[in-house]
Amino acid sequence: MYPTHKAGDYLVIALNGEVDLYYSPRAREQILGALESGAHVLVDLSAVEYIDSSGVASLVEGYQLAREKGLRFALVGVSQAAMQVLQLARLDTVFPIYEDLDAALAAAAQGQGSADERAGP
């Protein structure tokens, strides 16, 4: 299980290491599980060394579920390498992305970061 903690009304899921074909099912299960339980989710990617398409697909599925449920979903700590993978699939402008936790919480306090604020994937 990836570590989680509460920050504001978000549940922060801190992915780490390599989120690849082997580990992405674990990330997917945790993200979808949190959303199913009604939590607003922030996925912290700052400790991720590598994320592949299967990892990004888990984020896409999570964001779509958040939109359907009217929950907030955002990414923080996106490394340059992870950003390039998102850019390749033109997802960098789809996900709400914040530099760090404080920025995400500040945006939430101003009513931003809602899952339905951006065009869906």
Partner 1 sequence: MNGPGPEETIPEEVTPEDVIQVRELVAHYGERRILHGISFGIRRGEIMVIMGGSGSGKTTLLRHMLGLRRPTSGSIHILGRDITRIGRRELYRLRREMGVAFQGGALFGSMTVAENVQLPLREHTRLDENTIRIMTRMKLEVVNLSGFEHLMPAELSGGMTKRVALARAVIMDPKLLFFDEPSAGLDPVVSAELDELILKLRSAMNMTIVVVTHELESAFKIADRITVLHEGRLLITGTVDEVRRCENEHIQAMLHRRPRKEAIDADAYLRRLTGR
Interacting residues with partner 1 (CB under 8 A) = 20-21, 24-25, 28, 52-54, 56-58, 60-61, 81, 84-85, 87-91
Minimum Å gap between C-beta 60 and partner 1 is 5
Minimum Å gap between C-beta 81 and partner 1 is 8
**Which residue is listed with tokens 């709400």?**
96
Backbone angles phi, psi at 89, to 5 degrees: -95, 10
Nearer to partner 1, 42 or 59 (CB): 59
How many CB atoms lie under 10 A from the CB of residue 113? 23
Minimum Å gap between C-beta 65 and partner 1 is 10
Angle between the N-to-C axes of helices 53-69 and 80-88, in degrees from 0 to 180, rounded to the nearest 10: 70
